[in-house]
Structures are given as structure tokens and as C-alpha cells.
Amino acid sequence: MTATPTTTIPTIDLSSLATGLNHDTPEARAVGELIDSVCQNIGFLLVTNHGVSAQTKANFLAKMKEFFDEPLEKKNSIAIGKSAHHRGYVGMGMEDLEGALANTELGKTYGAGDVKESIDSGTEDGPDHPEVKAGTPLHGPNQLPDWIPGFREAWQQYFDECYETVRRVQRGLAIALKLHPNFFEDQPGFPLLNLRMLHYPPESRVNTEDGRIGCGAHPDYGTITVLADDGVGGLQVKPRQGDWVDISIPDECLVVNLADLLAIWTNDRYVSNPHRVMNPANTHRYSIPLFVTPPYNLTISAIESCLAPGEKPKYEPMVSGQYLQSRFDGTHTYRNELMDGEGH
């Protein structure tokens, strides 16, 4: 499970893509060209001037640490299995990103599960929300630790600022693909936004003899993921060519990586690379990924600008939400009885 020394991935300034600006400018087009080049190779980029303030990130990380320091019984009061909408606390070993998906395909038994714990959350969809009224899966209220003063406020502030990052990145991707800057944002329906709060314990507190790592090798499922962390390290990515490399995230940057549905949308022009997290030695690691998936009922098929004349799409059209749920079913014990009890 070794990796090559820390690699440098490109850093992209998103200031020209901020909400409210004119995006038909030489600066915005230059950013799109750079994004296009990066996304055809490694599929990971660092972004600056992204819209998330250092104070917002620090406040939220502090509240997350308060929660993960709570007794297990208290954390389980908001267990994800109590939610009908995939929202709440996921305990150690209850998700198996590498073993579950890989072993399902190979017909083998499930692995021991990832050595991490998390809270899954999303947009706060009340009873009057159109998708809630329609009974669309994955839409509903969150389960957050409201007994911790200021937690929900810190969560909301981070969520809102990080969504601005998402909008800037999506505009850059659209420009890169010769589309209208608002192509992704203007898709019909409500995007699925899954904000996870993750805690990885120190390696010294983990039994690694069975090969368990913090987060097993996997691609992400939607279009993009925006990641902040506490600077401890541990993230590794496998480029199209080569072995695993360590990714270092400067304090002022966020990481953006591409995911499966964007690779399908672009007919593999863009890369959805496998990545993983190695539990750091003698220290805790905290991270905040925001996973972005197109609206639940949106059908994803190859964008015309990504097809050469006469070229056929590599993939059959795919419904966004159904694909996302199939991946959840393959990785979470509470959704898959075949995984329940297998080393958990």
C-alpha cells in the first residue's frame, strides 16, 4: 500500500468564475482550457479563490471534532439507519468502498470495512420540497447533532460556501466542453448534494494486519467532489498512467476530483480516477467532501461536443439517482444485508 512521493497537481484560480460575474471573458475561457487539459489526465485539481473562507472551514472542523469525541451511544442516536434518506452517522467499518464494490463484482465475500466514521448530510429538504412531496429517494431532513451548540450553523455556513465552489467549478467544466457556462446548473431538477463529515483514527489505533485502510480505493459516483481537510494528509490518487501518488493540500486550497457520471457524460474524455485514504500515523484526520450528483431523475448520456463525427457513446444512458443508489447499496452495511455482520 505504498505510494510514490507527494505529487504536485495543478492549481487553478476560480475567481473569474464567481457567481454574478460575466463568464464570457478571456480569463474565464483560459480557466476552461486549463481545466480541460487537467481533466483529461489526472482528474484531480487544486483550486484557489473558491469561495470557502478559512474561518468557515476552521469553525466547521472544530464542531466536527466535538461530535466525533462524543461517546458511541450518543453518536448512534443519529445513526444513518434511522433515516429514510441516507442521512446520519456511519460508524467504524460500516462502509466498505473497496471491498464491497470489488468483491461484489468478483463474487467474493465482503471485506472488513473502512476504518473511518462519518456523518452524511445533504440539502435540508422540508415536507414542502417538491422532491419530498413526490417521494423521490434521497430527499428529506438531515440528522445532525443539534445538542452541540452552533453545530448546525457551522454546517450551514460551510455548505453554502462550498456550493459556491461547486458552481464555479461547474462553469469551468462547461466552458472547457464548449457549452454554455450554466449548462450543468441549468439541468432540470434539484442536484443531489451529499456533504460528508469524516474522521479517520490514527494508524496506531487500527489493526492493519488485515489490510484495512481508512478509505478503500474507489472512484466517486456523481459528477464532481469538492474536498477540504485539516492538513494531516493521507489522500492518494492513481492516475491513468502510473502507481499511487500522495496528494498534499495547501491550506488555501480545496481539492476537486471528477466522478463516474461526469466520465460517462463526457464519453471518457474526462477521468474518474481511483483514490483512497491511508490512516495517518499517531494523529487523527478530518475531512469534508461535498459530493455532487445531477438531479435524481436526470438521464445522463454523452455530450455531443465529446463525440467525434460518427462516434457512438461508450455507455448506455443512465439515470443519475438510480446509479447513485446502486453504489450506496454496494458499500453501506445498513442498506445491504449481505454485508451486515461480515467483519463489522
Distance, CA of 6 to CA of 98 (rounded, Å): 22
Overall domain count for the chain: 1
- For residue 223, being part of any structural domain is answered with yes
pLDDT recorded at residue 7: 53
User: Is residue 35 within a helix (H) or strand (E), and if so which, with residue range?
Assistant: helix 26-39
- For residue 341, being part of any structural domain is answered with no
Helical segments of 40-189, H only? 54-68, 72-75, 99-106, 130-133, 151-176
- For residue 342, being part of any structural domain is answered with no
Percent of the chain, pLDDT > 70?
Answer: 83
Angle between helices 26-39 and 151-176 (to 10 degrees): 90
Distance, CA of 294 to CA of 342 (rounded, Å): 32
- For residue 343, being part of any structural domain is answered with no
Range of the domain at 225: 4-335
pLDDT of 197 > 50? The answer is yes
Edge-first strand listing for the sheet containing 245-247: 4-7, 245-247, 235-237, 275-277, 215-218
Q: Tell me what the pLDDT averaged over the chain comes to.
A: 85
- For residue 165, being part of any structural domain is answered with yes
Over residues 8-31, the mean pLDDT reads 95
The reported pTM is 0.88
- For residue 46, being part of any structural domain is answered with yes
User: Is residue 30 within a helix (H) or strand (E), and if so which, with residue range?
Assistant: helix 26-39
pLDDT recorded at residue 98: 52
pLDDT recorded at residue 288: 97
Most confident of 3-12, 112-121, 301-310: 301-310
Q: What does the pLDDT look like over 221-263, one tens digit per residue?
A: 899 999 999 998 878 888 777 778 888 889 999 999 999 999 9
The distance from CA 286 to its chain's CA centroid, rounded to whole angstroms, is 14
Q: What does the pLDDT look like over 42-100, one tens digit per residue?
A: 888 999 999 999 999 999 999 999 999 999 999 999 999 999 999 999 998 776 655 44
pLDDT of 159 > 50? The answer is yes
CATH, residue 207: 2.60.120.330
pLDDT recorded at residue 328: 77
pLDDT recorded at residue 217: 72
pLDDT recorded at residue 227: 96
- For residue 344, being part of any structural domain is answered with no
Distance, CA of 327 to CA of 323 (rounded, Å): 7
- For residue 340, being part of any structural domain is answered with no
The DSSP 8-state label assigned to residue 287 in this structure reads E
Q: What is the signed CA dihedral for 303, 309, 315, 320, rounded to 10 degrees?
A: 10
pLDDT of 211 > 50? The answer is no
